């Protein structure tokens, strides 16, 4: 029931398709951070003109996945702890707002959808398939944000998620143990479904802040380990 709509989607424009293709390669880690992008090369690979590629790259730059140095080069965005910190702090703020709005406006259909995606996360966690768990995790957040009825928030969040995935694959931020992950999400889901706006916002905020903490902690570990290797040793 969606396939028929796809014809009038904007995704048939060549520059969007090119952007989608390049985005996939960046987010999936095929193109590493700081990887240089040559307009001509991309144009050749995707069999479109340079102008089309240019248009695609500008879009990806607006999404934060690509950087441009005028007259000089395009490259894949850098990955670093600071970048990840920016993403998670932003994410916490945005998802807290979304959770609050979602709790305030939840309809029965919304609640059903929420239960559905949570059940999928539960199933994935039971299965133990990392990739499936990550997808289900993001999906649940996406649904909550979608429930906010806040167009700009939805759009910003989607961009953010793509950047998070990119950083994740390169910074190597591992998922928490599945039990905690599941209970965090269950609590968030329940708060939203029960219309407890303050609690939902708090949980969304906390959930993401916890990720930042872990990230920074791991980063410090790495640093001291590195210092240990070339320092006293």
Partner DNA sequence: CTATAATCAATTGTTGACAATCGACCCGAT
Partner DNA sequence: ATCGGGTCGATTGTCAACAATTGATTATAG
Residues in contact with a second copy by the rule CB under 8 A: 10, 13, 51, 54-55, 58-59, 62, 64, 68, 70, 86-87, 89-90, 92-94, 96-97, 101, 150-153, 156
Residue 227 interacts with which of DNA, a second copy, none, CB < 5 to 8 Å by class: none
50 binds DNA (CB under 7 A): yes
DSSP one-letter code for 9: S
Give the binding-site size for DNA (rule: CB under 7 A): 22
Q: Is 71 in the site for DNA (CB under 7 A)?
A: yes
Could you give the string, one character per residue 100-139, with x where binding to DNA holds by CB under 7 A and - elsewhere? ----------------------------------------
Q: Give the residue with the Cβ less far from a second copy, 97 or 191.
A: 97
Residue 118 interacts, among DNA, a second copy, none and using kind-specific CB cut-offs from 5 to 8 Å, with none
How far is Cα 181 from Cα 15, in angstroms, rounded to an integer?
Answer: 38
Report in angstroms the alpha-carbon separations of 53 from 27, 32, 67, 76: 18, 19, 14, 14
Question: Is residue 202 a contact partner of residue 184, using CB atoms and an 8 Å limit?
Answer: no
Residue 78 CB, nearest distance to DNA (Å)? 17
C-alpha distance from residue 29 to each of 117, 125, 212 (Å): 26, 23, 21
- The nearest distance, CB 187 to DNA, in angstroms, is 44
Laid out side by side, the sheet with 73-76 consists of 36-37, 73-76, 66-69
73 binds DNA (CB under 7 A): yes
Q: Is 6 in the site for DNA (CB under 7 A)?
A: no
What residues make contact with DNA under the rule CB under 7 A?
8, 13-15, 37-40, 48-52, 54-55, 68-74
């Amino acid at each position: 029931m969606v396939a028929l709509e796809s014809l009038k989607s904007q995704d048939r424009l060549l520059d969007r398709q090119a952007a989608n293709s390049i985005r996939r390669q960046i987010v999936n880690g095929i193109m590493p951070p700081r990887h240089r992008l040559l307009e001509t090369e991309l144009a050749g690979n995707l069999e479109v003109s340079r102008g089309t590629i240019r248009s695609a790259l500008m879009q990806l730059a607006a999404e934060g996945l690509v950087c441009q140095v005028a007259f000089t080069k395009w490259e894949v965005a850098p990955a670093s702890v600071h970048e990840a910190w920016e993403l998670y702090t932003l994410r916490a703020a945005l998802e807290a707002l979304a959770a609050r709005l979602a709790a305030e406006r939840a309809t029965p259909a919304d609640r059903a959808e929420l239960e559905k995606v949570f059940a999928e996360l539960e199933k994935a966690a039971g299965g133990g398939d990392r990739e499936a768990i990550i997808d289900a995790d993001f999906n649940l957040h996406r649904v909550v944000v979608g429930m906010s009825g806040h167009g700009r928030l939805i759009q910003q969040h989607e961009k953010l998620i793509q950047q998070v995935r990119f950083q994740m694959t390169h910074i190597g931020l591992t998922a928490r143990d599945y039990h905690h992950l599941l209970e965090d999400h269950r609590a968030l889901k329940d708060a939203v479904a029960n219309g407890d706006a303050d609690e939902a916002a708090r949980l969304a905020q906390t959930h993401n802040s916890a990720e930042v903490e872990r990230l920074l902690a791991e980063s410090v570990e790495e640093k001291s380990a590195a210092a240990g290797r070339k320092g006293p040793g």
